[in-house]
Amino acid sequence: MTEHIALSRAAGPMGTIARVAADPLEKREARDLTVSFEFFPPKTKKMEKALWSTISSLEAFSPDFVSVTYGAGGSTKHRTLGTVARITNETNIPAAAHLTCVDATKEEVNAVANGFWDAGVRHIVALRGDSPDGIGQAYTPTPGGYGYADDLIKGLKKLHDFEISVSAYPERHPESGNWNVELDNLRRKVDAGATRAITQFFFDADTFLKFQDRVADAGIDIPIVPGIMLQPNMNGLKRMADMCGVAVPSWYSDLFTGLDGDEKTREMLTATLSGELTSELYDRGVSHFHLYTLNRAELASAMARILGLHHRRA
Ligand SMILES: Cc1cc2nc3c(=O)[nH]c(=O)nc-3n(C[C@H](O)[C@H](O)[C@H](O)COP(=O)(O)OP(=O)(O)OC[C@H]3O[C@@H](n4cnc5c(N)ncnc54)[C@H](O)[C@@H]3O)c2cc1C
């Protein structure tokens, strides 16, 4: 941790961002820098309106794709379908639907996947999902269902020629007892047809880069896309991190101490820290970033600008 602070301070947070922003545009385009945005399906009309305003402002950054999450057990299946179908019909952005296999039979999952295909969706983020008893509770495959993400991918590929993205975990999935188990699982997902992995969120560039090296050393050859969490609410972030087995470093949470009632400063910190993280990753060769937007435009837009994507506006 101390080492990280020393490194960050040596570079200087704003110094790092300024360096990337000053990078010649041609250099970044040569690296084919891309971004994708993740949304969740809105629950109410008001949330739907807010999401559409977010999508129309982020469309200007020409994302590679946007993805819409899926409530494990199918709790959002109509809303996820409605959202990806509308993005497909009303924008030029390729939309990916997340799909989980927990708590559903193969027939039920196949029916949802067919619905996505019929709506013009060609890209699935294929996931197992968590136990219906809650994240972190013991998971048991549903009888007659797809047991794990690799089984789901095999089933999806039999249905249609979907493009498949999967999850990956720079700090290991909490149920993977060691790195061999983690990487064997990722390899099975690739063998089943996944062509991209999007990671769980993390806070240190080194956490991601070490993971990327482990994947390469294991001979797994697909792009590993860092998932960047844009959550300025520290209580919400810690809750989410606890559930997912992600460590929030003390240097990070310390910066938010005493700011519960000061949303503006928390947002500025989130933008600065995420900007520093993406800039460091960019400097070290990463060229696709997946932004967990929480359906809000401002922070995602700031990140896209730090990456220089505003220059691509038509
Ligand atoms: C980018 C991203 C997007 C996400 N989107 C959603 C979403 O939209 N909806 C949602 O509900 N959740 C989502 N999640 C969370 C995800 O569902 C959970 O992390 C879940 O616990 C694992 O799903 P998985 O696809 O990674 O599982 P898997 O890849 O199937 O692996 C889960 C665990 O099971 C182990 N395992 C695999 N196969 C076997 C086997 N045969 N026997 C025993 N153990 C095995 C693996 O080693 C691993 O520890 C997302 C996560 C990420 C990183």
pLDDT by 10s per residue, the chain, length 314: 333 433 343 333 444 554 554 555 555 555 679 999 999 999 999 999 999 999 999 999 999 999 999 998 888 999 999 999 999 999 999 999 999 999 999 999 999 999 999 999 999 999 999 988 877 788 999 999 999 999 999 999 999 999 999 999 999 999 999 999 999 999 999 999 999 999 999 999 999 999 999 999 999 999 999 999 999 999 999 999 999 999 999 999 999 999 999 999 999 999 999 999 999 999 999 999 999 999 999 999 999 999 999 887 54
Ligand 1 pocket: which of 112, 167, 184, 246 to mutate (most atoms <8 Å of CB)?
167
CB 14 within 8 A of CB 272: yes
210/168 Cα distance (integer angstroms): 13
In ligand 1, which atom is closest to the CA atom of 189? 29
Task: Report the predicted TM-score, pTM, of the whole model to 2 decimal places.
Answer: 0.93
CB 101 within 8 A of CB 125: no
CB 155 within 8 A of CB 110: yes
CB 100 within 8 A of CB 148: no
Ligand 1 pocket: which of 66, 77, 173 to mutate (most atoms <8 Å of CB)?
173
Nearest CA to ligand 1 atom 2: 167
Would you say the CB of residue 167 lies under 6 angstroms from ligand 1?
Answer: yes
What domains appear along the chain, each with residue ranges and CATH number? 2-309 (3.20.20.220)
194/95 Cα distance (integer angstroms): 17
Would you say the CB of residue 79 lies under 6 angstroms from ligand 1?
Answer: no
Nearest CA to ligand 1 atom 27: 128
